[in-house]
C-alpha cells in the first residue's frame, strides 16, 4: 500500500519592507550627519569650505545675470541665506531618494551619498582659494560619515528576518531605527551647530589683536559737529562698521592669515613686485572720509554707507611697480578669485584711492575685507571695491573682463547723484504742523550743493543742508514741512557741484546704477 505524505498547508511567509517614509528619513538623517561633519571640519581648518558653501558658490558663478538681479532686488542682503536654504532643500530631496534606494540595495544608497560627496568635492576644487588637500577634507569627512550613518540606519530597518506575522521582530526593528535615528540626528545637530557657531565667530570677528594697525601719518580732523543734524531716525553721518552694508559673492567670509598674506602687483608694469603686509605698511598711511555705494542699490535703497577709511594711496603702491604705457584698467583680485576692474586714469586722477587697512578707527572687519581692500571714491563697488585683496593687475579693458562684466554690467560705472528720504518713514502717519522731512544725498567726488523737496503737485522747495565734510561723502539734509491733514506724496532731488540735478528718469540698477527720484507716501492725521 502506498503511503501519501501529508500536504504542507502553511502559507509562505511574506517578507515586509519598511515604510518608504522611514527609508526617506534614513537618507535625510545620513545626509544631515554628512553635512554637519563637513561643516565642522571646514570650520576647524583654515581655507576649507563646506560642501554647501562650495556648491552655493558655483551656483552664484553659473547663475544667469537676470536671476542674480532678481535675487538681489527681491531678497536684498537675504539672498545668500535663501541660496543656502535652496541648496539644502535640493540636497535633502536627493538624500531621501538615496535612503529609499538603500533599503532595496544598500550599495545604491551608498553610491548616492558618494555621488553627492563628489559634487561637493568638485565644487570645492573649483574655489580659486582652495588647495588640493584642504579642499578635499570636508567633502571626504562628509562622505565617510554619511555612508556610515546610512549603513547603520538601513541595517536597523532591514526586515529580511521579519515577516508580516512576526510583530515582535517588526517592533524591535522600528525601535532600533528610532534609537539610531535619534543618535544620528542628535550628533548631526550638535556637530552642525558647533561648526556654524565657529564659522560665525570667525566671520564676525575683528582682526587678530596681534595684527599691526599703525596710526595715520596724515590724520584727518574730527568730523565737525555741524555735519550731523540732530533728527531722530536720520541716518548717521558715519556708518558704524556693524551697520555698513555688505554685498559680495562670498558665501563664507575668507579667513586670511596676515603673516602669510601678500599683495602681488603685476601685468603691464616694469617691476612686478609682491609686498608683505609689513612692506605695505612702510608706505605713508592716510585717512579719508568716503561714501561707498553698491550698483544694485535701488532708488531710496540702503546699500550705501559712509566711513573714515585708513590706508595707503593706490598711486604710491603702483609707483613701486612702474606703470607701462597702454594700461587702462586696474584689476583687483580677491583671495577667493573675485575680480573688479577700475579705469586706471580714474584711480590716478588725484582722488583718494586707497588700499584700505582700517575702517572707522579700527582694523578692517573680516566681513569688510581684512586685511586689505580697495576703496575708490566715486565708483560703484563692483568696479572698484575688491575685498580680501591679494593682487593688483595692470591690463586693458580689451584684454580682460572682470567678474561682473560678462554678466551684463557696464565696464565703467561712476556713482550717480542720489538722494533718499529717511524720515518720516514711508506709509507712516504723522501729526499736523511742522514735520521734519530729512535724509541723505550723495555724489562722491562731485559733492552735493542743493537738495529740494516737493510735496504733492507743489513747487520744489529747498532743504537745509548739514555742513559738507568733503566732496567724497554724503550730506544730511532737512526740510521743515508744514503738514496738513490728508495723504501726501513727498519727493526729493539733489544737485551736485557741477550744477546737474538728479534725473527724474527711472531706470533699474543694470547696467550701471539706478536712476530716478525717491518718493514716499505719508498720512497726516486730523488735528
- For 404-436, write each residue's pLDDT tens digit: 999 899 999 999 999 999 999 999 999 999 999
- So what's the pLDDT on residue 164? 47
| Residues 40/145, Cβ–Cβ less than 8 Å | no
pLDDT in tens, 316-332: 999 999 999 999 999 99
- So what's the pLDDT on residue 3? 56
Mean pLDDT to the nearest integer, 467-491:
98
Mean pLDDT to the nearest integer, 356-368:
96
Percent of the chain with pLDDT over 90: 60
Q: What is the Cα–Cα distance from 496 to 492, expressed in whole angstroms? A: 14
Hey, is 263 helix, strand or coil?
A: strand
How many CB atoms are located within 10 Å of the residue 221 CB? 7
CA distances from 256 to 211, 335, 372 (A): 11, 8, 10
Highest mean pLDDT among 30-39, 83-92, 247-256, 434-443: 434-443
Q: Identify the residue whose cell numbers are 606703470.
A: 323
Residue 172 has pLDDT above 70, yes or no: no
| Residues 210/218, Cβ–Cβ less than 8 Å | no
Q: What is the Cα–Cα distance from 424 to 439, expressed in whole angstroms? A: 9
- So what's the pLDDT on residue 163? 47
Query: CA 90: distance to chain centroid?
Result: 21
Q: Which grid coordinates belong to 305?
A: 554707507
Mean pLDDT to the nearest integer, 106-133:
79
Q: What is the Cα–Cα distance from 191 to 33, expressed in whole angstroms? A: 8
**pTM for this prediction:** 0.80
- So what's the pLDDT on residue 48? 75
Q: Which H or E element spans position 437?
A: strand 433-442
Q: How many CA atoms lie within 13 A of 131 on its CB side?
A: 5
Q: What is the Cα–Cα distance from 265 to 310, expressed in whole angstroms? A: 20
β 433-442/354-359 pair status: unpaired
Q: What is the Cα–Cα distance from 337 to 54, expressed in whole angstroms? A: 13
Residue 84 confidence class, pLDDT cut points 50, 70, 90: confident
- So what's the pLDDT on residue 161? 43
pLDDT in tens, 248-305: 988 888 889 899 999 999 999 999 999 999 999 999 999 999 999 999 999 999 999 9
Q: Which grid coordinates belong to 403?
A: 567678474
Residue 195 has pLDDT above 80, yes or no: yes
- So what's the pLDDT on residue 112? 86
Highest mean pLDDT among 36-50, 89-103, 482-496: 482-496
Among 327, 322, 321, residue whose Cα is nearest residue 345: 327
Residue 57 confidence class, pLDDT cut points 50, 70, 90: confident
Instruction: Give the least confident one: 70-74, 157-161, 236-240, 363-367.
Output: 157-161
Residue 15 confidence class, pLDDT cut points 50, 70, 90: very low
Q: Identify the residue whose cell numbers are 536597523.
A: 156
110 vs 302: which has the higher pLDDT: 302
Amino acid at each position: 500500500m502506498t503511503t501519501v505524505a501529508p500536504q504542507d498547508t502553511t502559507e509562505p511567509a511574506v517578507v515586509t519592507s519598511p515604510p518608504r517614509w522611514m527609508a526617506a528619513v534614513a537618507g535625510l538623517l545620513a545626509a544631515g550627519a554628512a553635512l554637519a561633519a563637513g561643516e565642522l571640519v571646514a570650520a576647524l581648518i583654515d581655507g576649507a569650505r563646506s560642501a554647501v558653501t562650495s556648491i552655493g558658490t558655483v551656483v552664484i558663478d553659473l547663475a544667469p545675470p537676470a536671476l542674480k538681479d532678481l535675487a538681489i532686488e527681491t531678497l536684498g542682503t537675504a539672498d545668500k541665506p535663501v541660496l543656502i536654504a535652496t541648496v539644502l532643500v535640493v540636497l535633502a530631496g536627493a538624500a531621501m531618494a538615496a535612503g529609499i534606494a538603500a533599503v532595496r540595495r544598500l550599495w545604491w544608497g551608498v553610491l548616492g551619498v558618494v555621488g553627492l560627496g563628489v559634487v561637493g568635492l568638485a565644487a570645492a576644487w573649483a574655489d580659486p582659494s582652495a588647495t588640493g588637500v584642504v579642499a578635499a577634507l570636508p567633502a571626504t569627512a562628509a562622505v565617510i560619515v554619511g555612508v556610515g550613518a546610512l549603513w547603520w540606519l538601513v541595517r536597523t530597518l532591514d526586515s529580511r528576518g521579519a515577516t508580516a506575522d512576526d510583530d515582535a521582530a517588526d517592533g524591535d526593528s522600528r525601535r532600533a531605527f528610532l534609537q539610531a535615528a535619534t543618535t544620528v540626528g542628535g550628533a548631526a545637530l550638535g556637530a552642525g551647530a558647533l561648526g556654524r557657531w565657529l564659522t560665525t565667530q570667525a566671520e564676525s570677528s575683528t582682526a587678530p589683536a596681534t595684527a599691526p594697525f599703525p596710526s595715520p601719518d596724515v590724520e584727518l580732523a574730527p568730523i565737525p559737529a555741524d555735519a550731523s543734524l540732530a533728527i531722530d531716525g536720520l541716518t548717521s553721518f558715519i556708518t558704524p562698521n556693524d551697520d555698513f552694508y555688505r554685498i559680495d559673492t562670498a558665501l563664507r567670509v575668507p579667513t586670511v592669515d596676515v603673516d602669510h598674506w601678500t599683495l602681488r602687483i603685476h601685468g603691464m608694469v616694469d617691476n612686478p613686485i609682491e609686498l608683505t603686509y609689513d612692506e605695505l605698511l612702510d608706505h605713508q598711511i592716510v585717512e579719508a572720509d568716503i561714501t561707498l555705494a553698491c550698483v544694485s542699490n535701488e532708488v531710496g535703497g540702503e546699500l550705501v554707507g559712509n566711513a573714515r577709511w585708513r590706508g595707503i594711496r593706490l598711486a604710491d603702491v603702483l609707483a613701486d611697480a612702474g606703470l607701462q604705457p597702454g594700461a587702462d584698467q586696474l584689476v583687483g583680485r580677491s583671495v577667493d578669485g573675485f575680480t573688479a576692474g577700475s579705469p586706471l586714469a580714474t584711480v590716478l586722477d588725484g582722488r583718494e584711492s586707497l588700499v584700505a587697512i582700517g575702517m572707522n578707527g579700527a582694523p578692517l572687519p573680516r566681513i569688510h575685507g581684512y586685511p586689505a581692500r580697495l576703496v575708490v571714491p566715486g565708483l560703484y563697488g563692483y568696479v572698484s571695491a575688491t575685498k580680501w585683496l591679494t593682487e593688483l593687475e595692470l591690463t586693458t579693458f580689451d584684454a580682460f573682463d572682470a567678474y561682473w562684466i560678462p554678466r551684463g554690467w557696464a565696464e565703467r560705472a561712476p556713482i550717480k547723484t542720489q538722494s533718499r528720504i529717511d524720515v518720516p518713514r514711508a506709509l507712516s502717519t504723522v501729526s499736523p504742523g511742522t514735520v521734519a522731512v530729512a535724509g541723505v544725498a550723495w555724489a562722491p567726488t562731485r559733492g552735493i550743493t542743493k537738495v529740494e523737496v516737493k510735496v504733492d503737485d507743489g513747487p520744489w522747495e529747498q532743504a537745509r543742508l548739514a555742513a559738507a565734510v568733503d566732496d567724497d561723502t554724503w550730506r544730511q539734509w532737512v526740510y521743515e514741512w508744514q503738514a496738513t491733514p490728508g495723504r501726501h506724496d513727498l519727493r526729493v532731488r539733489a544737485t551736485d557741484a557741477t550744477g546737474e540735478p538728479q534725473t527724474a528718469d527711472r531706470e533699474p540698477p543694470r547696467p550701471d546704477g539706478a536712476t530716478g527720484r525717491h518718493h514716499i507716501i505719508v498720512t497726516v492725521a486730523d488735528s
